């Protein structure tokens, strides 16, 4: 241990051992323990490193000093772990990630009430579970939950019923807002909201029933300008629960009918419409009897040319013209001017056309061929969205850039615009969703694979088999087998080749043109510029002459003698005022001239905290302006020296703890 030397007294055969001899030995031990303690770290004089503590199975760390934090450091050389007990805050603080392996849990509550862990073996997910037979409650608090409405409480009862409540009425007292009740038949599962539900988009009901507070038979939904309400059909019309509508006898007069609202299909065979109610009068081939109109072989004749004729039969009106004799068309006039024409275009494969003009045209507004193919020249405007069942989308607008989703015969819906890196992922049942990052990688089976760059993909597990060798042009090697341990060589877009396994002491050497080769011994030394330099023993380096700089990479060189050496000078020149950094990577001898205005020096890149590091500073005209030094500088005598206004001063600075504390001293003032 530090400060203790074994054998304060030595004996030989025949010597007399006195009490003072033992006292001296124990006094030395007491003194060492009392002044420096005992590390047991395996270093000389401190005993072997401790690997196990036994006894009462209890360990106390700390001196019971009020307001003092206690730190336990796990020394891993490069990556250390630090566990800190925060005395005033009354909690632990750990400065690194904590890894909890698969199927292990963090347990909350004296009675193991709640367990949180990653379930790898069953659900492959983060699992939060309550004790056997108990429900699970999770409270989400905003603003520390100290006001009414700050808290939401999620409960899952034993059996699966999920409720979500809030304490808006009284802090700490939760009123259920939503209840989800599962059922083994998913269609029978229910979700109940205690208040209103607002749907920003379309509401699609895949079932057949809409159950409301009022469900009176024969009522219909009527909007009042704000809401839809169930309203009973009244007046001369009644509606049955089946949807059948009945109009009372003699309830509809002519003044209550729109023009052309009554057609043949709406009149029953026993309606007994009086002929007097029609505009027909008796004439050739038409006779009127009591409530009867008789038409005998009525013909319509084209007065312009008798080649076009028509006949009214039980199948309807037929217009006819010999093939090649011209168009068969019907003109529609307003005020004697033909505005529209409809018919068969004899000169265009007998297509049926409708055109806004005096005659059919080669390119008409509406065309239909014999196969039923329709061409519309203009824009089709619908008063209501064309349903999916009729070949439409069921919607009049979509999110710009949104992916469209089908819903049976329901309206097509658009997802939100995909974010950067998002992809569409489905689960085989519900609508697909947008996912990215770790969630996406899990969904597509990449597990915990890291995010891949666009030009570099890393596969951390599994294998790719059954493919032809992937060419170099496609990012492969172009080969299916390579020499085990052989260094690989590229060849443009050609297949990668492998060199033979390097022999003992061989290195790969290139010539800037052809493929590199393996070299060793004198050949290798010649190639790398060592000429006839002898082989160097790893434990002893013979006399050498260096032809260039040698970088030690912060490694230790011990038991050496230096002769005729110099230090690199970092010549800063005029500081120009403001902040001036002295970077020790640029040299441990520094020169600078203070000018212009106040100057603040900073020090950077000292060596490690367990090494002595220092530099000398030649400062010209240091007293001509205000000079500020780092607060970490501890000056000899307790204060910074007064520098020469016009002249050269020499100062020296050094640190032994990586720059946490610098020591400064004045070497001399006003050098010529």
> What are the two backbone dihedrals, phi and then psi, of residue 137, each rounded to the nearest 5 degrees?
-125, 130
Q: Under a CB-based contact definition with an 8 Å cutoff, are residues 50 and 40 in contact?
A: yes
Q: What distance in Å separates the CA atoms of residue 3 and residue 18, rounded to the nearest whole number? A: 24
pLDDT at residue 460, rounded to an integer? 64
pLDDT at residue 578, rounded to an integer? 92
Q: What distance in Å separates the CA atoms of residue 327 and residue 341, rounded to the nearest whole number? A: 11
Min mean pLDDT across 10-19, 197-206, 220-229 is at 10-19
pLDDT tier at 653, thresholds 50, 70, 90: very high
Q: Under a CB-based contact definition with an 8 Å cutoff, are residues 649 and 669 in contact?
A: yes
Per-residue burial over 48-83, b if 16 or more Cβ lie within 10 Å, else e, is eeeeeeeeeeeeeeeeeeeeeeeeeeeeeeeeeeee
Q: Under a CB-based contact definition with an 8 Å cutoff, are residues 528 and 511 in contact?
A: no
pLDDT at residue 594, rounded to an integer? 94
Q: DSSP label at 455?
A: T
- Torsion 278-283-288-292 (CA) sign: negative
Residue 626 to residues 290, 571, 598, 629, Cα–Cα distance (Å): 127, 21, 5, 10
pLDDT tier at 655, thresholds 50, 70, 90: very high
pLDDT above 70 covers what percent of the chain? 79
Average confidence (pLDDT) over 467-483: 85
Q: Let me know if 662 is exposed, middle or buried by CB neighbors in 10 A (0-12, 13-18, 19+).
A: buried
Q: Give 34-79 pLDDT, tens digit per residue.
A: 655 566 666 665 666 666 766 667 778 877 888 888 888 887 778 8
pLDDT tier at 19, thresholds 50, 70, 90: confident
pLDDT above 90 covers what percent of the chain? 20
Q: What distance in Å separates the CA atoms of residue 598 and residue 624, rounded to the nearest whole number? A: 9
Is residue 317 scored above 70 in pLDDT? no
The residue among 627, 640, 646 whose CA lies nearest residue 579 is 627
Label residue 198 left, alpha or beta by phi (over 0 means left) and psi (-120 to 50 means alpha): beta
Average confidence (pLDDT) over 611-616: 94
Is residue 480 scored above 60 in pLDDT? yes
Q: 228 has which bridge partners?
A: 223
pLDDT tier at 592, thresholds 50, 70, 90: very high
Average confidence (pLDDT) over 271-282: 59
Contacts of 285 (CB under 8 A, 6+ apart): 295, 296, 297, 298
E strand or H helix at 441, and its extent? helix 437-443
Parallel/antiparallel/unpaired status of strands 494-498 and 488-491: antiparallel
The answer to pTM > 0.75 is no
pLDDT tier at 350, thresholds 50, 70, 90: confident
Q: What distance in Å separates the CA atoms of residue 155 and residue 182, rounded to the nearest whole number? A: 14
Is residue 632 scored above 70 in pLDDT? yes
Is residue 90 scored above 60 in pLDDT? yes
Of the two residues 463 and 66, the one the predictor is more confident about is 66
Q: Give 510-565 pLDDT, tens digit per residue.
A: 988 999 999 888 888 888 877 666 555 556 666 677 766 777 777 777 788 888 88
Q: DSSP label at 212?
A: -
Is residue 654 scored above 70 in pLDDT? yes
Q: What is the mean pLDDT of the chain?
A: 81
Contacts of 667 (CB under 8 A, 6+ apart): 616, 650, 651, 652
Average confidence (pLDDT) over 314-322: 65
Q: Let me know if 178 is exposed, middle or buried by CB neighbors in 10 A (0-12, 13-18, 19+).
A: middle
Helix and strand numbers, DSSP H then E, in the chain: 3, 42
Average confidence (pLDDT) over 153-167: 90
The residue among 95, 75, 98, 69 whose CA lies nearest residue 83 is 95
Per-residue burial over 136-175, b if 16 or more Cβ lie within 10 Å, else e, is bbeeeeeeebeeeebbbbebbeeeeeebbbbbbeeeeebe
Is residue 316 scored above 70 in pLDDT? no
């Amino acid at each position: 241990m530090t400060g203790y030397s074994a054998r304060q007294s030595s004996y030989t055969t025949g010597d007399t051992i006195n009490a003072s001899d033992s006292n001296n030995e124990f006094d030395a031990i007491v003194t060492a323990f009392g002044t420096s303690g005992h590390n047991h770290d395996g270093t000389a004089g401190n005993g072997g490193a401790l690997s196990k503590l036994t006894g009462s199975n209890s360990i106390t760390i700390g001196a019971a000093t009020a307001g003092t934090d206690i730190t336990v450091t796990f020394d891993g050389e490069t990556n250390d772990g630090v566990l800190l007990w925060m005395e005033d805050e009354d909690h632990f603080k750990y400065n690194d990630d904590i890894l909890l392996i698969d199927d292990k849990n963090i347990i909350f509550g004296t009675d193991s009430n709640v367990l949180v862990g990653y379930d790898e073996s069953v659900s492959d997910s983060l699992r939060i579970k309550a004790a056997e037979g108990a429900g699970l409650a999770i409270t989400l608090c905003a603003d520390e939950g100290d006001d009414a409405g700050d808290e939401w409480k999620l409960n899952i009862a034993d059996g699966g019923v999920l409720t979500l409540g809030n304490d808006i009425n009284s802090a700490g007292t939760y009123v259920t807002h939503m209840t989800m009740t599962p059922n083994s038949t998913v269609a029978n599962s229910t979700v109940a909201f205690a208040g209103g539900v607002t749907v920003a988009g379309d509401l699609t009901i895949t079932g057949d029933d809409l159950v409301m507070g009022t469900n009176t038979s024969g009522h219909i939904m009527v909007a009042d300008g704000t809401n839809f309400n169930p309203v009973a059909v009244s007046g001369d019309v009644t509606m049955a629960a089946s949807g059948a509508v009945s109009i009372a006898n003699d309830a509809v007069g002519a003044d209550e009918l729109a023009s052309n609202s009554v057609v043949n299909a709406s009149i029953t065979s026993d309606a007994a419409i009086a002929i007097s109610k029609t505009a027909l009068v008796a004439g050739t081939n038409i006779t009127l009897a009591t409530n009867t109109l008789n038409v005998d072989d009525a013909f319509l004749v084209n007065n312009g040319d008798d080649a076009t004729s028509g006949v009214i039969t039980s199948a309807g009106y037929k217009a006819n013209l010999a093939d090649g004799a011209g168009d068969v068309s019907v003109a529609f006039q307003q005020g004697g001017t033909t505005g529209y024409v409809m018919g068969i275009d004899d000169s265009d494969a007998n297509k049926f056309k409708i055109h806004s003009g005096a005659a059919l045209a080669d390119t008409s507004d509406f065309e239909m061929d014999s196969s039923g193919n329709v061409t519309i020249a203009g824009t089709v405007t619908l008063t209501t969205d064309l349903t999916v069942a009729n070949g439409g989308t069921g919607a009049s607008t979509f999110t710009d850039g949104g992916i469209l989703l089908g819903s049976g015969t329901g309206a097509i819906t658009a997802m939100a615009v995909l974010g950067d890196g998002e992809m569409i992922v489905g689960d085989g049942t519900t609508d697909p969703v947008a996912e990215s990052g770790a969630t996406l990688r899990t969904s597509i089976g990449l597990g915990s694979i890291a995010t891949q760059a666009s030009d570099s993909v890393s596969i951390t597990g599994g294998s790719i088999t059954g493919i032809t060798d992937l060419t170099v042009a496609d990012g492969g090697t172009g080969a299916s087998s390579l020499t085990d341990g052989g260094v690989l060589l590229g060849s443009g877009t050609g297949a990668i080749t492998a060199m033979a396994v390097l022999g003992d002491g061989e290195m790969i050497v290139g010539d800037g043109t052809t493929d590199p080769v393996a070299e060793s011994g004198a050949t290798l030394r010649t190639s790398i510029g060592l000429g006839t330099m002898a082989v160097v023993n790893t434990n002893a380096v013979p006399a050498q002459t260096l032809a260039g700089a040698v970088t030690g990479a912060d490694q230790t060189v011990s038991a050496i003698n230096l002769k005729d050496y110099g230090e690199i000078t970092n010549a800063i020149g005029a500081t120009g005022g403001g902040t001036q950094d002295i970077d020790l990577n640029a040299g441990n001898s520094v020169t600078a001239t203070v000018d212009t205005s106040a100057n603040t020096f900073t020090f950077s890149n000292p060596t490690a905290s367990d090494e002595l590091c220092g530099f000398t500073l030649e400062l010209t005209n240091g007293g001509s302006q205000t000079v500020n030094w780092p607060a970490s500088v501890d000056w000899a005598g307790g204060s910074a020296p007064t520098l020469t206004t016009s002249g050269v001063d020499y100062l020296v600075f050094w640190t032994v703890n990586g720059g946490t504390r610098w020591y400064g001293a004045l070497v001399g003032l006003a050098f010529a």
